[in-house]
Amino acid sequence: MLNKFRSLKAEAFNVYLLMMGVSAFATTLAYTIHLVYQVRQVGLNPLQLVLVGTTLELTAFLTEIPTGVVADIYSRRLSVIIGFALLGLSLIIEGAIPVFGVILLGQVVAGFGYTFLSGATSAWIADEVGPDRAGPAFMRGAQAEQACAFVGIFVSVALASISLQLAIICGGILLVLLAALLVLVMPELGFQRRPESERESWRAFLRTFRAGVGLVRARRILLLITLAAIIHGAFTEGFDRLWITHLLERFSLPPLGQLDEIVWFGIISAVSMPLTLVATEILRRRLDMTDSARVAMTLIAVYASLIASVLLFVLSETFALVLLGLWLTQAARAIREPLMETWINQHTESDVRATVLSIQGQADALGQIAGGPVVGAIGLLTTVRLAISLSAVILLPILPVIRRTAQVDPRRGSS
C-alpha cells in the first residue's frame, strides 16, 4: 500500500515536470519574439504596448477570484486544463491578425487562461505530493521550465526568421495540445471535492472566497505578501512592455552577418537561461525551503539585485553593459518565482490554498493596472528610458515590506 502511494506521488510529480516543461517550451516559442512582433509588425507605441498589458491584467483582476474559487470547489485539474487551452487560443488569435484591436482581444482570452492557471497549478501539485515536498517540486519544476525554454528559444528564432506570426501561432497550438494531453494523463488524488450540493451553489463560492480573504486578513504575513505582490506588479508592467523598445531605440543591434536582427533576441534569451539554471540549483541545494525567515531574507537579496540590474540596463551607455543588466534582471526574476510560491504555500491551508494564491495574483494584477498606464504615458510623453527607471524606483518599498515578514511568526501570522 505504501509503495502504491509513493508511486502515485511520483506519477503526479512526473506529470508536473512534463506540464512545466512543455508549457515553457510553447510559451517561449511565442514570447521570445512577442514584443518584437508588437513593435515591428503591429507598430504599437509605448502607451499602446502598456495598454495591451493592462488589458491582460484587468481581465485577470476581474476573473482571478472566481477562477481560484472554482479550483478549490470543483477541480484543480480541470482548472489547469482550461487555463492552458485558453492561453493557447489567445496566442493563435494574436498571431493570426496583426491589428491592435485583435491583440487586445487575445489579451482578454489570455487573461482568463492565466487566472485558471494561477494558484491551481501550484495548489494541485502541493496536494498531490504533500506540502513538505512541494518546495523541492517547485524548484525542479522551475528547472524543467528553464531547460525547455532554452531549447524553445532556438526553435522560436528559426520559426520567426520565416515569420513572426508563425512562431506565435505554433506556440499557441502546442499549448492547446498540452491541454488535450493533460485530459488523459493528469491525476488528481490529493484534492477532495466538495459535496455535489455545495458544488452547484453560489454559497459555496462565496464561503470559500470569504475563507481565503479571512485567512489573508487574519495572518499579517499574508497581508504583507499581498502588499509585496502589488508593488511587484507595478514594476513588471512597465519593464516587461518597454524593454525591447528601449533596446531598439537606443542601440543599433550589432550585425550578425546575413542573419536577421531577430537572432539577437534569441541570443539575449539564450544567455539568461544558464544563469538562471545555475542560480536556481544553488538555491535548491543550499536554502532550507522550510525556513520562512531565510526565504524572506533571500527574497530581499533577490529584489535588491533586481533593482540594481534594471538600473544597469536602462542607464548604461554601452551595449555590453545593457545586455549584462538585462541578463541579471531576467535571472533575478526567475529565481523569485519558486521562492514566492514556496513561501505562500507554507502559510496556507489546503482547502483555500488556490483562493489565497489567486488573491496574490489579483494583487499583482492590481499593481500592474495602477502602475502600467502611468509608466506607459511617461514613456510616450518623455522617454522610454525615464519610464523604465521609474519602474525600478517603484520596487524600492518592497525591501522593507519583505523584511517585516521575516519577523512574523508563520504559525500565528503575527509577530
CB burial of residue 163 (10 Å; 0-12, 13-18, 19+): middle
- 244 Cβ partners below 8 Å, 6+ apart? 35, 36, 39, 265
Predicted local confidence at residue 201, as pLDDT: 47
Predicted local confidence at residue 355, as pLDDT: 66
Predicted local confidence at residue 5, as pLDDT: 41
Predicted local confidence at residue 351, as pLDDT: 62
Predicted local confidence at residue 54, as pLDDT: 85
In this structure, what is the dihedral angle of CA atoms 51, 53, 59, 60, given to the nearest 10 degrees? -150
Mean pLDDT within 15-41? 91
State yes or no: pLDDT of 331 exceeds 70.
yes
The answer to whether the CB of 339 falls within 8 A of the CB of 280 is: no
Instruction: Using a pLDDT cut of 90, give the percent of the chain over it.
Output: 23
Mean pLDDT within 266-286? 77
The helix/strand count (H/E) of the chain reads as 17, 0
Residue type, 36: V
Distance (Å, whole) CA 95 – CA 167: 8
Predicted local confidence at residue 415, as pLDDT: 43
The answer to whether the CB of 183 falls within 8 A of the CB of 82 is: no
Mean model confidence pLDDT for the chain: 81
Q: Which candidate, 55, 101, 92, 48, places its Cα nearest to that of 379?
A: 48
Work out the pLDDT band at 89, boundaries 50, 70, 90.
very high
3-state secondary structure of 287: coil
Chain segment 290-324, per-residue pLDDT in tens: 677 787 788 888 899 999 999 999 999 888 899 99
The DSSP line for 320-336 is HHHHHHHHHHHHHHHHH
Work out the pLDDT band at 6, boundaries 50, 70, 90.
very low
State yes or no: pLDDT of 412 exceeds 60.
no
Predicted local confidence at residue 99, as pLDDT: 92
Predicted local confidence at residue 113, as pLDDT: 92
Of 98-112, 261-275, 320-334, least confident by mean pLDDT is 261-275
Q: Find the angle CA(288)-CA(289)-CA(290) to the nearest 5 degrees.
A: 90
Mean pLDDT within 380-405? 87
Distance (Å, whole) CA 255 – CA 249: 16
Of 165-169, 264-268, 360-364, least confident by mean pLDDT is 360-364
161 or 214, which is more confident?
A: 161
Predicted local confidence at residue 340, as pLDDT: 77
104 or 210, which is more confident?
A: 104
Chain segment 102-123, per-residue pLDDT in tens: 999 999 999 989 888 877 888 7
In the structure grid, which three cell numbers stand for residue 205, read together? 463560492
Place of cell 528601449: 246
The DSSP line for 159-196 is HHHH-HHHHHHHHHHHHHHHHHHHHHH----S--PPPH
Predicted local confidence at residue 211, as pLDDT: 67
- What's the gap between Cα 78 and its chain centre? 20
Instruction: Using a pLDDT cut of 70, give the percent of the chain over it.
Output: 80
Chain segment 135-181, per-residue pLDDT in tens: 778 878 888 888 898 899 889 989 988 889 999 999 999 999 999 99
The answer to whether the CB of 120 falls within 8 A of the CB of 76 is: yes
Predicted local confidence at residue 108, as pLDDT: 94
State yes or no: pLDDT of 346 exceeds 60.
yes
